[in-house]
Structure 1
Amino acid sequence: MSDIVIIGAGVIGVATAHALTARGITDITILDRDSVGSGGTGKSAGIVRCHYGVTSVAALALASLEFFENAEAELGQDIGFEQVGYLVGVGPENVEPFRASLANQRSLGVDTREIGHDEVAAMWPTAYLDDFATFCFEPRGGYGDGYATAQALATSLKAKGVTIRQGAKVTEIVVDGDKVTGVRLADGEVVPAGLVVVAAGAWSVPLVSPLGITLPIQPIWVQEVLIDPAVDLGAPPVFSDLVSKQYVHLRGGEMLFGNSSGEGAMTPIDDPDVYPSRATNETVELVVEKAMHRFPGIEDPRLATTATGVIDTTPDNNPIVSATGYAGLFIAAGMSGHGFKIAPALGRLMADIMLDGDTTLPHVVASEFRLSRYDDGEPLVSPFVYHGATGIR
């Protein structure tokens, strides 16, 4: 019998185990139906930023930065973290909430500052910037590799005695009355446990529904387009364009574009296992149109490829990190596209809730992430509302 079973070997599951081992607990079994990082983690754009209006989420992102900056030294493996910085541009309609959010972020210790068009032009010399009102820059931001991060954490966990079983599909959470006692696998094997964490993204929903637990998580199909600029753009910062509603960063010389909102950005699907592996022609055309508007200085761009994936989205676009009505059963799901950048600290938040019922993470209010917030009429939303970009801020 393991003290703890974690369902899901994505970055949230392994980060939770990592936080538990930091507290001296190693009798942990992680179960994944496929392999480490094979779900949403492996398809993440990997953007690292602290630009959030929700104080607790910004604080989780800030606390995670230290992990990303020191991961290679701590884990002995490269996680692909490129600290190129993170840039946000807004139009006139968002200047007021933008500046209020920046002030709040700085009060938490986030290194971010408002900058002007000239500084941005030096960072992205091929960009058209006249339709932006202002910008901010986070020098500690950037991007990483979700799959590499999960693999590095898994290797570290195994060295500490944590068991990771791949190809072990959980089909049932076993309870005795109102207490969890373990999980059942597809082959009938029961893995006993005193504590169970469900960290399986959108796949968490059918696991807990037989227990009468309704997770308000919607699988969302995400489409991204990679464009070869055919020129060397150097190492510009990740750019969150809240005018054109897109994000872009360079990976291996290619520009990865995604829609932040609107057509092709958020497409609800019924089954997180069933979605097209290629972006639609309509999405490609929209991304190319936006890219050409924003980067007219790129004279001969070429479509390289497209990428798709699934995110697990909640009604308030924020995670559920929570105990349940069953003793010993916990949920860490509904990351809403924020999972990678907050995973290291969110893993600690989950571990703290499991062991203490609360957290000592600075500026993080554990109860804000509880599952019951929806029934209580207390969704976790930003007080700094960005027009046209509420879901990502």
Structure 2
Amino acid sequence: MVSNAEVVVVGGGLEGLAIAWALADRGVRDVLVLEREGLCSGGTAKSSSIVRCHYGVASLAAMSQRGVELFADAEEILGSDVGYRRTGYAVGVGPENADALRANVALQQSVGVGVREMSAADMRELWQGMYVDDFATFAYEPDGGRGDAYLLGMAFGSRARELGVRVRQQTPVTRLLTGDDGRVSGVETAGGERISAGTVVLANGPWSVALAEPLGVDLPVWAQRAQIVMVDPGEPLGEVPVFSDLVSLQYVRTEPSGELLFGNSDHSTPEYADPDTYRNRADDSFVEMAGEKLAHRFPSWAEPRMITSYAGCYDVTPDYNPVIGPAEVPGLFLAVGFSGHGFKLAPAVGRLVTDLIVDGVSGDPAIPAEDFRLARFAEGAPLVSRNPYAGAGQMR
């Protein structure tokens, strides 16, 4: 079989579907999305789906702000609720990071983020029973909160289909095809079908590496296992803010059910994994660590208990920031390595990829495309925070 499309998107997760929607919304509707399993069944289904703009990289803060803007109007834009709940987002730091937090707040405000510094007394009001004496200061985003990456991805997919995009599930791509001139000309699927394309976009996370390698494109992307514990706090918490604790290195957010999601923010000793075979529950040592961190931060909880646990994989790069842009091989486009940021960035990722494919430049001056170029690693110019937090690891 031989078929064709103007753009083939490899990967039917959140980023791939956001790209397909943005292309179709711009008028590029001869788009085919190929997903190896079911839509949003990979990393998207495991996302903690936190809405925040707290970054020390201006372009990332701006991209997250574009995400907040879409989440707020998702029913009008996408025709579907994407689970966005404006609970607020707070981040707390110790004395050694107070100046960095203030600098980051100023940076975020400069790109339109509604964020402000907040005192310990303010935090006590928002989170009753939280121990805050080891924090120096906090930043607070009223528009932050939580969403649902699966709902968002499926909403992008549904709207893209309405606009004419074709989506095929259970269709693994096994090889990128090239013409005599070396340009990527399409893909080959596991079923032996060859699909020609003007542009192929790799938006399939850690599975992109094996497809790019035969073409001489070395993608520094690895699957990093991330563990999550779900906790019953033993008392109703209400709609408290999502909280990023950069003293104990943890993050917590409530579920609609009232349970609490706990994640680790210490990435100093990453665990790399095979994205197809990793262990899908938290290790005993992780559960014990989670209990200790939660007991320190929330000493007033009388009878908290673990409900369940699971694990997922981030697709990480050396600087924990994504690669978005054309590869050195003509006809190949990259949108990989989202390193845990993908949910909040997805709306802006779709727009940026579309702008670069259609126009060759970013259409948003606050989001320069060169920030996300693959070549930055070979150049020794990683994309890192202007105001890093000492001891807080990556992902900022």
TM-score tier, shorter chain, comes to: over 0.9
Partner of 2:228: 224
Whole-angstrom CA distance in 1 between matches of 2:350 and 2:156: 12
Distance in 2 between residues matched to 1:30 and 1:126, nearest whole Å: 47
**Alignment deviations for residues 75-109 of structure 1 (CA, whole Å, 9 cap, x no partner):** 22221111111000000010111111111111111
Q: Tell me, in whole angstroms, the C-alpha distance in 1 between the residues paired with 2:318 and 2:332.
A: 22
Q: Report how far residue 117 of structure 1 moved.
A: 1.1
Letter in 1 for 2:93: V
Aligned AA for 1:366?
A: A
Matches within 5 A, 1:1-393: 1-176=4-179, 177-251=181-255, 252-262=257-267, 266-269=270-273, 271-393=274-396
State the AA in 2 paired with 1:230: G
CA positional deviation for 1:390: 3.9
Query: Separation in 2 of the partners of 1:111 and 1:278?
Result: 36
**Cα deviations by residue, 1:275-304 (Å, 9 ceiling, x for unpaired):** 111100000000010001101111110110
Q: Could you give the per-residue CA deviations for residues 302-361 of structure 1, whole angstroms, max 9, x where no partner exists? A: 110002100100001100001012222100000011001101001111111112221021
Q: Any conservation in 2 of the 1:7–1:13 contact (CA below 8 Å)?
A: yes
Superimposed CA distance per residue, residues 184-222 of structure 1 (whole angstroms, 9 cap, x where no aligned partner) = 000100111111100001111111111111000111000
Following the alignment from structure 2 to structure 1, what is the Cα–Cα distance between the partners of residues 367 and 393? 21
SS in 1 for 2:394: helix
The alignment partner of 2:333 has SS state of strand
- Counterpart residue type for residue 279 of structure 1: A
1:178 positional shift: 2.1
Letter matched to residue 281 of structure 1: D
Q: Distance in 1 between matches of 2:300 and 2:29?
A: 53
Note if contact 1:178-1:325 (Cα within 8 Å) is conserved in structure 2: no
What amino acid maps onto 1:195 in structure 2?
T
Provide the rounded CA distance (Å) in 2 between the counterparts of 1:63 and 1:268: 31
In structure 1, what residue type is equivalent to 2:155?
A
Give the Å deviation of 1:262. Answer: 4.9
User: For the residues of structure 2 that align with 1:262 and 1:30, how far apart are their CA atoms?
Assistant: 33
**Alpha carbons 2:134, 2:247 under 8 Å: kept:** yes
CA distance in structure 2 between the aligned counterparts of 1:221 and 1:199, rounded to whole angstroms: 19
SS at match of 2:92: strand
| DSSP 3-state at the match of 1:95 | helix
Letter in 2 for 1:327: P
Whole-angstrom distance in 1 between the partners of 2:328 and 2:365: 27
C-alpha separation between the residues in 1 aligned to 2:392 and 2:333? Answer: 30
CA distance in 1, matches of 2:172, 2:80: 28
| Structure 1 letter corresponding to 2:352 | L
Supply the distance in 2 between the matched residues of 1:159 and 1:35 (Cα, whole angstroms): 19
2:160 & 2:327 partners in 1: Cα distance? 26
CA 1:328–1:52 in 2, change beyond 3 Å: closer, same or farther? same
Structure 1 residue ranges (4+ consecutive) displaced by more than 3 angstroms after TM superposition: none
The range that moved more, 332-341 or 376-385, is 376-385
Maintained 8 Å contact 2:119/2:138:
yes
Whichever residue aligns with residue 345 of structure 2, its letter is I
Q: Structure 2: how far apart are the matches of 1:167 and 1:245?
A: 38
Number of aligned positions between the proteins:
391
Secondary structure in structure 1 of the residue aligned to 2:196: strand
Mapped contact 1:182–1:194 kept (Cα < 8 A): yes
Amino acid at match of 1:69: A
Q: Deviations over 1:41-60 (max 9, x none)?
A: 11000001100001111111
Q: Is the 8 A contact 2:265 2:393 kept in 1?
A: no
Deviations 1:202-255 (A, max 9, x none): 111111111111000111000011100121110001000000000000002111
